Chain A
Amino acid sequence: MPPVTTTATAAASTSPEVPADGLVVVVKQDCPTCRLVAPVLGDLGATVYTQDDPAFPPGVAVRDDTDLDASVALGIDVVPTLLRREGGRETARAEGWDRATWRELSGVADLGADLPEWKPGCGSRTHDPAVADAMLVRARGHELAARRVELAGLEDEAEALYDRGWTDGLPVVAPTPPRVLRMLAGTTRAPDEVVAVVPPNLVPATVEKVAINAVLAGCRPEYLPVVLAAVEAACAEEFNAHGLLATTWGAGPAVLVHGPIARRIGVNAGGNALGQGTRANSTIGRAVQLVIRNVGGGRPGEVDRATLGQPGKVGLCFAEDEEHSPWEPLSVERGVPAGASAVTVFASEGPRGVVDQISRTPESLARSLAVALRGVGHPKLAPGFDAVLVLSPEHVAVFDEAGWDRARFTTTLAELLLLPPEELARGADGIEEGMPEPTRPHPKFRREGLMVAVAGGGAGKFSAVLGGWVGGPGGSSPVTRIIEEA
């Protein structure tokens, strides 16, 4: 098992000494064509590099290039390759065995008379996936600053990472230098750039640290710009990640992805958008949570004081279905230019489904949804918690077909959720919980405390409510950030 590490392992590749003038041949023993031409290599007067076996070809003085530095410097794609170099520059190249070309390049008129006229070569070891990682680390490992952690040979990787406290309880992907370097290829931002200061311990998170946690979470490199923007949003002052973590309430940071990047990287906005089975959905929110855990130090049982928590705290991410939604995207309502990619991070519980399979009028369906939304936190508390309503395609179609746009829908919901004081008072309905002596109607949600996004599969007159946490100052406000793309 390769060592697990989160740091650079080697300095940058140094340029090997390759001959400035003369013929150069690069071969490997594990290549039938190289073995075929081996008998003629001694006749060339060439510098011979061997990629895999320093004793090959026998009887020829070779240079050991098992570290492939010379092959990389010479740009070798195929073996055997015969090169002519003059004044430090390549002036001619033959790939594979081609008797006429080799004779012309070498000036040896009878070269390889016993060999076939032509035989294609093999792939250079520089393209062997088994060595690509090592080459990547040699070339770019110096960009990594994180400390190196090496596991013993008999340690089980998944168990070892869990034992070190780096996981949310599920297995994680070991953040080896090649994996972190490949992840960093997903952004043009410098690895040492500080993305955010992460609560609760207020630790600076560099792009590299975020990339490490994205690897742990199982992200693909193309997700990294979304994760970076989400981490930045989650650590914004107004999001109050420290408070969200420390509260006994069970909400956690959820990530809503907007714009073209969602489709490009495969964030699910369709069937089962809030569920399992889509890598981007399952890993992006998880990466944000792992940054809070592993960089910020926010762990359950310590600063995380949730009484119950909820499964969405492992990571909750989905996209709005802007392609099929009849309405202006939520991101545009939140000030993002149309067509731009962005994320909104919001405090969220797990989703609760809302059934209405009968309403054909927007008035009726709006009332159904309002009744469901009233239950956020507690039906007798208002305003208090924020929420996100995820409207399914069949539900939003009811409003669209009646000519309701997003503004009319949200205005109507706000009217329906202006709750009478006699229903909110402590003791009303025989329930001690409630508002102390309310004298006027109270809106269920503060201004901008209810966001509406369209997502879900084509069939099902079901929407979903994602209850939040205390909204605004003293609690948490949703934060939207534009995604910086390469």
Chain B
Amino acid sequence: MHDLAALEADGIATTFVASSEFVTATDAQARALGFASVPAVYVAHPIQDRTDPEMAALADEALPRVLAAVTGAPPTA
């Protein structure tokens, strides 16, 4: 989140991808950094035990949302 804030401050469109278990962590950190909304992309949990084909499928599913996040509205304060 700190990296996202720094990159966005430099005018570089940024998002991050995490599993769905990290929504509350994102919200807490966003509040602390003063973001009202963050262009995060969440994929289904868990991650650690995924096979390579499963990970590829997750990435394919997430890609449109990743592109939308970096081409859409920037984070709002």
A residues apposed to B, CB below 8 Å: 200-202, 246, 248, 297, 299, 301-303, 305
Contacts and interface: CB of A to CB of B under 8 A. Distances in A.
A376 to B, nearest CB: 18
A200 B21 contact: no
B21 A303 contact: no
Nearest to B28: A302
User: Across chains A and B, which 10 residue pairs bring their CB atoms closest together, nearest first?
Assistant: A302-B28, A201-B32, A303-B25, A297-B32, A303-B28, A305-B25, A303-B29, A302-B25, A200-B29, A202-B2
B16 interface: no
Contacts of A200: 29, 32
A201 B27 CA distance: 12
A302 B24 contact: yes
Interface in B5-55: 21-22, 24-25, 27-29, 32-33
A270 to B, nearest CB: 40
12 contacts: A201-B29, A201-B32, A246-B25, A248-B21, A297-B28, A302-B27, A302-B28, A303-B25, A303-B28, A303-B29, A305-B21, A305-B25
Contacts of B32: 200-201, 297
Nearest to A242: B2
Interface residues of B: mostly helix, strand, loop or mixed?
A: helix
Nearest to A301: B24
A284 B75 CA distance: 39
B21 to A, nearest CB: 7
Contacts, number: 23
Contacts of A299: 28
Contacts of A246: 25
Given A248-B21, A297-B28, A303-B29, 19 more contacts: A200-B29, A200-B32, A201-B29, A201-B32, A201-B33, A202-B2, A246-B25, A297-B32, A301-B24, A302-B24, A302-B25, A302-B27, A302-B28, A302-B29, A303-B25, A303-B28, A305-B21, A305-B22, A305-B25
Interface residues of B, number: 10
B26 to A, nearest CB: 9
A297 B34 CA distance: 13
A248 to B, nearest CB: 8
B17 to A, nearest CB: 15
A385 to B, nearest CB: 15
Nearest to A296: B32
A246 B21 CA distance: 11
Contacts of B25: 246, 302-303, 305
Contacts of A305: 21-22, 25
A200 B28 CA distance: 10
Nearest to A246: B25
Contacts of A202: 2
A155 to B, nearest CB: 26
Contacts of A303: 25, 28-29
B44 to A, nearest CB: 16
Nearest to A302: B28
A200 B2 CA distance: 9
A297 B22 CA distance: 16
A186 to B, nearest CB: 30
Nearest to B25: A303
A201 B29 CA distance: 7
Nearest to B48: A248
Contacts of A201: 29, 32-33
A297 to B, nearest CB: 5
A303 B22 CA distance: 8
Nearest to A248: B21
